[in-house]
Protein backbone atom coordinates (compact mmCIF):
# COMPACT_ATOMS: atom_id res chain seq x y z
CA UNK A 1 0.00 0.00 0.00
CA UNK A 2 1.09 3.57 -0.62
CA UNK A 3 -0.17 7.06 0.12
CA UNK A 4 -1.82 9.38 -2.37
CA UNK A 5 -4.78 11.64 -3.13
CA UNK A 6 -8.31 10.32 -2.72
CA UNK A 7 -11.03 12.21 -4.59
CA UNK A 8 -14.79 11.71 -4.36
CA UNK A 9 -16.59 13.77 -6.98
CA UNK A 10 -19.91 13.22 -5.20
CA UNK A 11 -18.72 15.49 -2.39
CA UNK A 12 -16.98 18.15 -4.50
CA UNK A 13 -18.77 21.48 -4.87
CA UNK A 14 -16.08 23.09 -7.05
CA UNK A 15 -15.33 25.72 -4.40
CA UNK A 16 -11.62 25.95 -5.38
CA UNK A 17 -10.45 25.82 -1.75
CA UNK A 18 -7.93 23.10 -2.65
CA UNK A 19 -6.47 25.14 -5.52
CA UNK A 20 -6.26 28.27 -3.37
CA UNK A 21 -4.57 26.41 -0.51
CA UNK A 22 -2.02 24.97 -2.92
CA UNK A 23 -1.08 28.41 -4.19
CA UNK A 24 -0.92 29.95 -0.72
CA UNK A 25 1.13 27.14 0.82
CA UNK A 26 3.72 27.03 -1.94
CA UNK A 27 3.59 30.71 -3.02
CA UNK A 28 3.02 29.71 -6.64
CA UNK A 29 2.84 32.16 -9.53
CA UNK A 30 1.16 29.37 -11.50
CA UNK A 31 -1.84 27.28 -10.50
CA UNK A 32 -0.79 23.62 -10.20
CA UNK A 33 -4.23 22.30 -9.19
CA UNK A 34 -7.08 22.53 -11.67
CA UNK A 35 -10.80 21.99 -11.12
CA UNK A 36 -12.34 20.34 -14.16
CA UNK A 37 -16.09 20.57 -14.27
CA UNK A 38 -19.12 19.61 -16.34
CA UNK A 39 -22.45 21.34 -16.40
CA UNK A 40 -21.03 24.65 -15.19
CA UNK A 41 -24.40 26.34 -15.72
CA UNK A 42 -26.08 23.67 -13.52
CA UNK A 43 -28.63 22.55 -16.12
CA UNK A 44 -31.07 20.26 -14.26
CA UNK A 45 -31.18 17.63 -17.03
CA UNK A 46 -27.40 17.11 -16.94
CA UNK A 47 -25.15 15.63 -14.23
CA UNK A 48 -22.81 17.94 -12.34
CA UNK A 49 -19.35 16.46 -12.05
CA UNK A 50 -16.15 18.04 -10.72
CA UNK A 51 -12.64 16.69 -10.78
CA UNK A 52 -9.87 18.29 -8.73
CA UNK A 53 -6.56 17.26 -10.23
CA UNK A 54 -2.89 18.18 -9.98
CA UNK A 55 0.32 16.18 -10.25
CA UNK A 56 -0.38 12.55 -9.35
CA UNK A 57 3.29 11.67 -8.65
CA UNK A 58 2.95 8.59 -10.83
CA UNK A 59 4.93 5.41 -10.35
CA UNK A 60 5.90 5.70 -14.03
CA UNK A 61 6.52 9.44 -14.16
CA UNK A 62 6.83 10.31 -17.85
CA UNK A 63 7.66 13.91 -16.93
CA UNK A 64 10.72 12.61 -15.06
CA UNK A 65 11.71 10.14 -17.78
CA UNK A 66 11.37 12.69 -20.57
CA UNK A 67 13.08 15.65 -18.86
CA UNK A 68 16.35 16.24 -20.76
CA UNK A 69 18.12 18.09 -17.97
CA UNK A 70 17.46 15.82 -15.00
CA UNK A 71 15.56 18.69 -13.36
CA UNK A 72 12.79 16.30 -12.29
CA UNK A 73 13.50 13.73 -9.61
CA UNK A 74 11.70 11.62 -7.02
CA UNK A 75 12.04 12.09 -3.27
CA UNK A 76 12.66 8.62 -1.88
CA UNK A 77 11.09 9.42 1.48
CA UNK A 78 7.74 10.82 0.34
CA UNK A 79 7.69 9.51 -3.30
CA UNK A 80 7.03 13.08 -4.44
CA UNK A 81 8.06 13.94 -7.98
CA UNK A 82 9.81 17.32 -7.78
CA UNK A 83 11.14 19.91 -10.24
CA UNK A 84 14.43 21.66 -9.52
CA UNK A 85 13.98 25.20 -10.81
CA UNK A 86 17.75 25.68 -10.98
CA UNK A 87 18.11 22.87 -13.52
CA UNK A 88 14.91 23.45 -15.53
CA UNK A 89 15.52 25.10 -18.91
CA UNK A 90 11.85 25.71 -19.73
CA UNK A 91 11.63 23.36 -22.72
CA UNK A 92 7.96 22.45 -22.03
CA UNK A 93 8.63 18.76 -22.67
CA UNK A 94 7.24 17.65 -19.30
CA UNK A 95 4.03 19.53 -20.17
CA UNK A 96 3.71 17.63 -23.41
CA UNK A 97 4.32 14.26 -21.81
CA UNK A 98 2.00 14.48 -18.80
CA UNK A 99 -1.54 13.28 -19.66
CA UNK A 100 -2.91 15.00 -16.55
CA UNK A 101 -1.59 18.41 -17.67
CA UNK A 102 0.09 18.78 -14.26
CA UNK A 103 3.26 20.80 -15.08
CA UNK A 104 2.56 24.51 -15.59
CA UNK A 105 4.92 26.87 -17.38
CA UNK A 106 5.71 30.10 -15.53
CA UNK A 107 6.21 32.83 -18.12
CA UNK A 108 7.68 35.22 -15.56
CA UNK A 109 10.41 32.78 -14.46
CA UNK A 110 10.91 30.88 -17.72
CA UNK A 111 10.65 27.51 -15.96
CA UNK A 112 7.99 24.91 -15.16
CA UNK A 113 6.39 24.28 -11.79
CA UNK A 114 3.89 21.74 -10.51
CA UNK A 115 2.36 20.19 -7.39
CA UNK A 116 5.06 19.00 -4.99
CA UNK A 117 2.72 16.82 -2.88
CA UNK A 118 3.56 19.48 -0.27
CA UNK A 119 6.74 17.47 0.13
CA UNK A 120 7.96 19.32 3.23
CA UNK A 121 4.63 18.69 4.99
CA UNK A 122 4.67 14.99 4.05
CA UNK A 123 8.16 14.60 5.48
CA UNK A 124 6.74 15.95 8.75
CA UNK A 125 3.84 13.45 8.58
CA UNK A 126 1.37 16.22 7.72
CA UNK A 127 -1.13 16.00 4.83
CA UNK A 128 -0.85 18.25 1.73
CA UNK A 129 -2.41 21.70 2.06
CA UNK A 130 -5.02 21.04 -0.62
CA UNK A 131 -6.54 18.06 1.19
CA UNK A 132 -6.48 19.89 4.54
CA UNK A 133 -8.37 22.82 3.03
CA UNK A 134 -11.17 20.80 1.42
CA UNK A 135 -14.34 21.65 3.44
CA UNK A 136 -16.42 18.66 2.28
CA UNK A 137 -13.83 15.88 2.43
CA UNK A 138 -14.01 15.43 -1.34
CA UNK A 139 -10.21 15.63 -1.57
CA UNK A 140 -8.27 13.75 1.07
CA UNK A 141 -4.90 12.11 1.50
CA UNK A 142 -4.34 8.58 2.68
CA UNK A 143 -3.65 4.95 1.85
CA UNK A 144 -4.46 3.90 -1.74
CA UNK A 145 -3.87 0.62 -3.61
CA UNK A 146 -0.36 -0.08 -4.88
CA UNK A 147 -1.73 -0.64 -8.36
CA UNK A 148 -4.85 0.83 -9.93
CA UNK A 149 -6.67 -2.17 -11.37
CA UNK A 150 -10.25 -1.43 -12.34
CA UNK A 151 -12.62 0.83 -10.46
CA UNK A 152 -11.49 3.98 -12.28
CA UNK A 153 -13.40 5.46 -15.22
CA UNK A 154 -12.27 4.10 -18.58
CA UNK A 155 -11.43 7.63 -19.71
CA UNK A 156 -8.96 8.14 -16.86
CA UNK A 157 -5.33 7.28 -17.80
CA UNK A 158 -4.11 4.75 -15.23
CA UNK A 159 -1.21 3.24 -17.21
CA UNK A 160 1.24 5.48 -15.31
CA UNK A 161 -0.12 4.21 -11.97
CA UNK A 162 -0.89 7.66 -10.51
CA UNK A 163 -1.01 8.23 -6.76
CA UNK A 164 -4.69 9.12 -7.00
CA UNK A 165 -7.74 7.06 -6.12
CA UNK A 166 -11.06 8.13 -7.63
CA UNK A 167 -13.86 7.24 -5.21
CA UNK A 168 -17.57 7.42 -5.99
CA UNK A 169 -19.63 6.41 -9.00
CA UNK A 170 -18.34 7.56 -12.40
CA UNK A 171 -20.80 5.52 -14.44
CA UNK A 172 -22.09 8.76 -15.94
CA UNK A 173 -19.15 10.26 -17.85
CA UNK A 174 -18.84 14.03 -18.23
CA UNK A 175 -20.81 15.34 -21.19
CA UNK A 176 -18.55 18.36 -21.50
CA UNK A 177 -15.40 19.07 -19.55
CA UNK A 178 -13.49 22.31 -19.17
CA UNK A 179 -11.59 24.15 -16.45
CA UNK A 180 -14.06 25.72 -14.05
CA UNK A 181 -11.75 28.28 -12.51
CA UNK A 182 -10.17 31.24 -14.29
CA UNK A 183 -6.70 32.04 -12.98
CA UNK A 184 -5.46 34.46 -15.63
CA UNK A 185 -6.88 36.87 -18.17
CA UNK A 186 -5.48 34.70 -20.94
CA UNK A 187 -7.12 31.54 -19.66
CA UNK A 188 -9.40 31.07 -22.66
CA UNK A 189 -6.49 31.35 -25.08
CA UNK A 190 -4.42 28.99 -22.95
CA UNK A 191 -7.27 26.47 -22.82
CA UNK A 192 -7.76 26.65 -26.58
CA UNK A 193 -4.08 25.97 -27.29
CA UNK A 194 -3.39 23.62 -24.38
CA UNK A 195 -1.03 20.87 -25.38
CA UNK A 196 -0.44 22.26 -28.86
CA UNK A 197 2.96 23.44 -29.99
CA UNK A 198 1.61 26.04 -32.39
CA UNK A 199 2.63 28.75 -32.77
CA UNK A 200 6.13 27.42 -31.94
CA UNK A 201 7.90 28.91 -34.94
CA UNK A 202 11.30 28.16 -33.42
CA UNK A 203 10.61 24.41 -33.46
CA UNK A 204 9.29 24.61 -37.00
CA UNK A 205 12.45 26.39 -38.15
CA UNK A 206 14.76 24.04 -36.24
CA UNK A 207 13.23 20.80 -37.51
CA UNK A 208 12.87 22.14 -41.07
CA UNK A 209 16.48 23.31 -41.34
CA UNK A 210 17.76 20.14 -39.66
CA UNK A 211 15.81 18.06 -42.18
CA UNK A 212 17.27 20.10 -45.05
CA UNK A 213 20.80 19.53 -43.73
CA UNK A 214 20.15 15.79 -43.45
CA UNK A 215 18.73 15.77 -46.99
CA UNK A 216 21.90 17.44 -48.26
CA UNK A 217 24.06 14.81 -46.55
CA UNK A 218 21.97 11.91 -47.91
CA UNK A 219 21.95 13.26 -51.48
CA UNK A 220 25.70 13.84 -51.27
CA UNK A 221 26.25 10.23 -50.21
CA UNK A 222 23.97 8.94 -52.99
CA UNK A 223 25.49 11.01 -55.80
CA UNK A 224 29.06 10.92 -54.53
CA UNK A 225 29.34 14.69 -54.62
CA UNK A 226 30.92 16.63 -51.78
CA UNK A 227 29.02 18.49 -49.08
CA UNK A 228 29.09 22.27 -49.36
CA UNK A 229 30.68 23.25 -46.06
CA UNK A 230 29.49 26.87 -46.08
CA UNK A 231 25.88 25.94 -46.79
CA UNK A 232 26.01 23.28 -44.09
CA UNK A 233 27.38 25.68 -41.48
CA UNK A 234 24.60 28.15 -42.28
CA UNK A 235 21.89 25.50 -42.06
CA UNK A 236 23.16 23.90 -38.86
CA UNK A 237 23.96 27.21 -37.18
CA UNK A 238 20.57 28.73 -38.02
CA UNK A 239 18.77 25.58 -36.84
CA UNK A 240 20.62 25.55 -33.52
CA UNK A 241 19.99 29.26 -32.97
CA UNK A 242 16.28 28.90 -33.73
CA UNK A 243 15.92 26.04 -31.23
CA UNK A 244 17.09 28.29 -28.38
CA UNK A 245 14.09 30.60 -28.81
CA UNK A 246 11.85 27.76 -27.64
CA UNK A 247 13.52 27.66 -24.23
CA UNK A 248 12.63 29.69 -21.17
CA UNK A 249 16.28 29.53 -20.04
CA UNK A 250 18.45 29.33 -23.21
CA UNK A 251 21.71 29.68 -21.26
CA UNK A 252 20.98 26.36 -19.57
CA UNK A 253 20.70 24.52 -22.90
CA UNK A 254 23.99 22.74 -22.19
CA UNK A 255 22.12 20.69 -19.59
CA UNK A 256 19.92 19.10 -22.25
CA UNK A 257 22.28 16.13 -22.63
CA UNK A 258 22.04 15.05 -18.99
CA UNK A 259 19.25 12.47 -19.42
CA UNK A 260 20.28 10.54 -22.53
CA UNK A 261 19.29 7.29 -20.82
CA UNK A 262 15.53 7.92 -20.99
CA UNK A 263 14.74 11.31 -22.56
CA UNK A 264 13.88 11.37 -26.30
CA UNK A 265 14.75 15.07 -26.30
CA UNK A 266 18.27 14.43 -24.97
CA UNK A 267 18.80 11.75 -27.61
CA UNK A 268 17.63 14.09 -30.35
CA UNK A 269 20.11 16.75 -29.26
CA UNK A 270 22.95 14.23 -29.03
CA UNK A 271 22.09 12.98 -32.54
CA UNK A 272 22.08 16.57 -33.81
CA UNK A 273 25.56 17.18 -32.39
CA UNK A 274 26.88 13.89 -33.84
CA UNK A 275 25.39 14.64 -37.26
CA UNK A 276 26.79 18.18 -37.25
CA UNK A 277 30.29 16.99 -36.41
CA UNK A 278 30.29 14.19 -38.99
CA UNK A 279 28.84 16.42 -41.71
CA UNK A 280 31.39 19.17 -41.13
CA UNK A 281 34.17 16.55 -41.07
CA UNK A 282 32.90 15.14 -44.38
CA UNK A 283 32.91 18.62 -45.93
CA UNK A 284 36.42 19.36 -44.63
CA UNK A 285 38.15 16.06 -45.42
CA UNK A 286 36.09 15.29 -48.56
CA UNK A 287 35.94 11.63 -47.56
CA UNK A 288 33.16 9.44 -49.03
CA UNK A 289 33.32 7.20 -45.97
CA UNK A 290 32.77 10.09 -43.55
CA UNK A 291 30.08 11.34 -45.92
CA UNK A 292 28.31 7.99 -45.67
CA UNK A 293 28.60 8.08 -41.87
CA UNK A 294 27.16 11.60 -41.86
CA UNK A 295 24.20 10.47 -43.97
CA UNK A 296 23.56 7.53 -41.64
CA UNK A 297 23.71 9.77 -38.57
CA UNK A 298 21.34 12.16 -40.34
CA UNK A 299 18.77 9.42 -40.85
CA UNK A 300 19.07 8.60 -37.14
CA UNK A 301 18.60 12.28 -36.33
CA UNK A 302 15.33 12.74 -38.23
CA UNK A 303 13.97 9.50 -36.76
CA UNK A 304 14.78 10.76 -33.27
CA UNK A 305 13.21 14.15 -34.06
CA UNK A 306 9.98 12.35 -34.95
CA UNK A 307 10.26 10.17 -31.83
CA UNK A 308 10.23 13.27 -29.59
CA UNK A 309 6.66 13.96 -30.75
CA UNK A 310 5.61 10.33 -30.99
CA UNK A 311 6.55 9.89 -27.31
CA UNK A 312 4.29 12.77 -26.23
CA UNK A 313 1.32 11.98 -28.47
CA UNK A 314 1.53 8.18 -28.20
CA UNK A 315 1.65 8.10 -31.99
CA UNK A 316 -1.66 9.92 -32.52
CA UNK A 317 -1.39 12.08 -35.68
CA UNK A 318 2.41 11.73 -35.77
CA UNK A 319 3.27 8.24 -37.05
CA UNK A 320 1.49 8.38 -40.40
CA UNK A 321 1.85 12.10 -40.97
CA UNK A 322 3.07 13.71 -44.17
CA UNK A 323 5.10 16.26 -42.22
CA UNK A 324 7.39 13.79 -40.43
CA UNK A 325 11.00 14.95 -40.44
CA UNK A 326 12.02 11.52 -41.76
CA UNK A 327 9.80 11.85 -44.85
CA UNK A 328 10.81 15.49 -45.33
CA UNK A 329 14.50 14.56 -45.38
CA UNK A 330 14.03 11.59 -47.75
CA UNK A 331 11.83 13.48 -50.21
CA UNK A 332 14.16 16.48 -50.27
CA UNK A 333 17.19 14.22 -50.68
CA UNK A 334 15.62 12.48 -53.68
CA UNK A 335 14.75 15.91 -55.14
CA UNK A 336 18.31 17.20 -54.76
CA UNK A 337 19.87 13.96 -56.03
CA UNK A 338 17.56 13.84 -59.05
CA UNK A 339 16.22 10.40 -58.11
CA UNK A 340 12.89 10.79 -59.92
CA UNK A 341 11.43 7.35 -59.19
CA UNK A 342 12.15 7.64 -55.46
CA UNK A 343 10.78 11.17 -55.47
CA UNK A 344 7.52 10.16 -57.21
CA UNK A 345 6.98 7.28 -54.79
CA UNK A 346 7.55 9.45 -51.71
CA UNK A 347 5.47 12.30 -53.17
CA UNK A 348 2.54 9.94 -53.82
CA UNK A 349 2.79 8.62 -50.26
CA UNK A 350 2.79 12.11 -48.80
CA UNK A 351 -0.17 13.18 -50.95
CA UNK A 352 -2.17 10.25 -49.56
CA UNK A 353 -1.12 11.07 -46.00
CA UNK A 354 -2.03 14.74 -46.45
CA UNK A 355 -5.35 14.11 -48.15
CA UNK A 356 -6.74 12.13 -45.21
CA UNK A 357 -6.75 15.30 -43.10
CA UNK A 358 -8.67 17.45 -45.58
CA UNK A 359 -12.12 16.47 -44.30
CA UNK A 360 -11.10 17.23 -40.72
CA UNK A 361 -9.61 20.59 -41.75
CA UNK A 362 -12.90 21.84 -43.18
CA UNK A 363 -13.60 23.52 -39.84
CA UNK A 364 -10.25 25.36 -39.99
CA UNK A 365 -10.07 27.18 -43.35
CA UNK A 366 -6.45 28.33 -42.95
CA UNK A 367 -5.22 24.79 -42.33
CA UNK A 368 -7.33 23.38 -45.14
CA UNK A 369 -5.92 25.98 -47.56
CA UNK A 370 -2.36 25.26 -46.47
CA UNK A 371 -2.91 21.51 -46.87
CA UNK A 372 -4.35 21.99 -50.36
CA UNK A 373 -1.34 24.14 -51.24
CA UNK A 374 0.97 21.43 -49.94
CA UNK A 375 -0.74 18.77 -52.10
CA UNK A 376 -0.65 21.02 -55.16
CA UNK A 377 3.10 21.59 -54.69
CA UNK A 378 3.70 17.85 -54.67
CA UNK A 379 1.51 17.30 -57.73
CA UNK A 380 3.09 20.15 -59.74
CA UNK A 381 6.63 19.24 -58.68
CA UNK A 382 6.10 15.61 -59.66
CA UNK A 383 4.63 16.63 -63.03
CA UNK A 384 7.52 19.00 -63.71
CA UNK A 385 10.12 16.32 -62.95
CA UNK A 386 8.37 13.92 -65.31
CA UNK A 387 8.05 16.45 -68.14
CA UNK A 388 11.39 18.22 -67.68
CA UNK A 389 13.87 15.78 -66.09
CA UNK A 390 16.67 17.46 -64.18
CA UNK A 391 14.91 20.83 -63.92
CA UNK A 392 16.74 23.02 -61.39
CA UNK A 393 15.33 26.50 -61.87
CA UNK A 394 15.66 28.54 -58.65
CA UNK A 395 12.00 29.46 -58.57
CA UNK A 396 11.11 25.81 -59.02
CA UNK A 397 13.39 24.83 -56.12
CA UNK A 398 11.96 27.61 -53.95
CA UNK A 399 8.42 26.43 -54.79
CA UNK A 400 9.32 22.91 -53.68
CA UNK A 401 10.94 24.12 -50.44
CA UNK A 402 7.86 26.20 -49.59
CA UNK A 403 5.83 23.02 -49.89
CA UNK A 404 8.17 21.23 -47.48
CA UNK A 405 8.00 24.13 -45.02
CA UNK A 406 4.20 24.09 -45.18
CA UNK A 407 4.28 20.39 -44.33
CA UNK A 408 6.33 21.09 -41.21
CA UNK A 409 3.83 23.77 -40.17
CA UNK A 410 0.98 21.33 -40.71
CA UNK A 411 2.79 18.68 -38.68
CA UNK A 412 2.82 20.99 -35.66
CA UNK A 413 -0.83 21.87 -36.16
CA UNK A 414 -1.66 18.15 -36.19
CA UNK A 415 0.53 17.33 -33.19
CA UNK A 416 -1.30 17.30 -29.90
CA UNK A 417 -0.05 15.47 -26.81
CA UNK A 418 -2.49 13.10 -25.12
CA UNK A 419 -4.40 14.89 -22.35
CA UNK A 420 -7.10 13.84 -19.89
CA UNK A 421 -9.67 16.20 -21.40
CA UNK A 422 -9.06 14.75 -24.87
CA UNK A 423 -9.49 11.19 -23.62
CA UNK A 424 -12.81 12.16 -22.06
CA UNK A 425 -13.94 13.74 -25.34
CA UNK A 426 -12.94 10.62 -27.27
CA UNK A 427 -14.87 8.46 -24.80
CA UNK A 428 -17.89 10.73 -25.13
CA UNK A 429 -17.75 10.46 -28.92
CA UNK A 430 -17.53 6.69 -28.61
CA UNK A 431 -20.54 6.70 -26.31
CA UNK A 432 -22.42 9.04 -28.62
CA UNK A 433 -22.96 11.54 -25.80
CA UNK A 434 -21.50 14.71 -27.30
The 10 Å Cβ neighbour count of residue 40 is 14
Indicate whether 127 and 8 sit together in one domain: yes
Residue 427 forms part of a structural domain:
no
Q: Tell me phi and psi for residue 112, to 5 degrees.
A: -105, 145
Residue 108 forms part of a structural domain:
yes
Residues 6+ apart with CB under 8 A from 66: 93, 94, 96, 97, 262, 263, 264, 265, 311, 312
Please state, in angstroms and rounded to a whole number, the distance separating the CA atoms of residues 141 and 139. 7
End residue of a domain, out of 154, 174, 195: 195
DSSP letter for 52, please: E
**pTM recorded for the entire structure:** 0.88
Residue 266 forms part of a structural domain:
yes
Indicate whether 214 and 191 sit together in one domain: no
Outline where 227-287 has alpha helix (H): 229-244, 264-285
Indicate whether 105 and 148 sit together in one domain: yes
Indicate whether 28 and 167 sit together in one domain: yes
Indicate whether 220 and 331 sit together in one domain: yes
Residue 432 forms part of a structural domain:
no
Q: What is the mean pLDDT of each run of 10 residues along the chain (434 residues)?
A: 88 89 88 79 68 92 96 91 95 94 90 92 90 94 79 78 83 48 41 46 95 94 82 91 93 95 96 95 89 95 96 84 94 93 95 84 78 94 85 86 94 88 66 49
Given this model, what pLDDT does residue 180 score? 43
Strands 2-8 and 164-167: parallel
Residue 419 forms part of a structural domain:
no
Indicate whether 113 and 184 sit together in one domain: yes
Burial profile 160-194: b = 16 or more Cβ within 10 angstroms, e = fewer: bbbbbbbeeebeebbbebebbbebeeeeeeeeeee
Given this model, what pLDDT does residue 308 score? 96
Please state, in angstroms and rounded to a whole number, the distance separating the CA atoms of residues 322 and 408. 9
Indicate whether 144 and 258 sit together in one domain: no
Indicate whether 30 and 99 sit together in one domain: yes
Indicate whether 107 and 168 sit together in one domain: yes
In total, the chain counts a number of residues equal to: 434
Domain count, the chain: 2
The CATH number of the domain holding residue 110 is 3.30.70.20
DSSP letter for 227, please: P
Residue 230 forms part of a structural domain:
yes
The CATH number of the domain holding residue 321 is 1.20.1630.10
Outline where 103-247 has alpha helix (H): 119-122, 129-133, 187-192, 201-223, 229-244
Indicate whether 167 and 83 sit together in one domain: yes
Q: Which domain holds residue 407?
A: 201-414
At residue 55, the 3 state secondary structure works out as: coil
Amino acid sequence: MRKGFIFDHGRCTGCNACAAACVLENKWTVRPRTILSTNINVIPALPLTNLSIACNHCEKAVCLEGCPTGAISRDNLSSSVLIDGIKCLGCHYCQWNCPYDAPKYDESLGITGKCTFCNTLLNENLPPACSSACPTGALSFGIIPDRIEGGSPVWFPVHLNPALHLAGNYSLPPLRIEPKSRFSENHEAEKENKGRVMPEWSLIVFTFLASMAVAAAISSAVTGSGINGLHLVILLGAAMLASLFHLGKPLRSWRALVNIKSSPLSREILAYIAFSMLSLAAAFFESPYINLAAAASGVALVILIDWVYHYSSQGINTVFNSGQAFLTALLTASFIAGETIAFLFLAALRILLSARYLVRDNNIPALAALRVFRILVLLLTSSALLLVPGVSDRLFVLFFLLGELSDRILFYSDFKPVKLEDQIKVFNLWQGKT
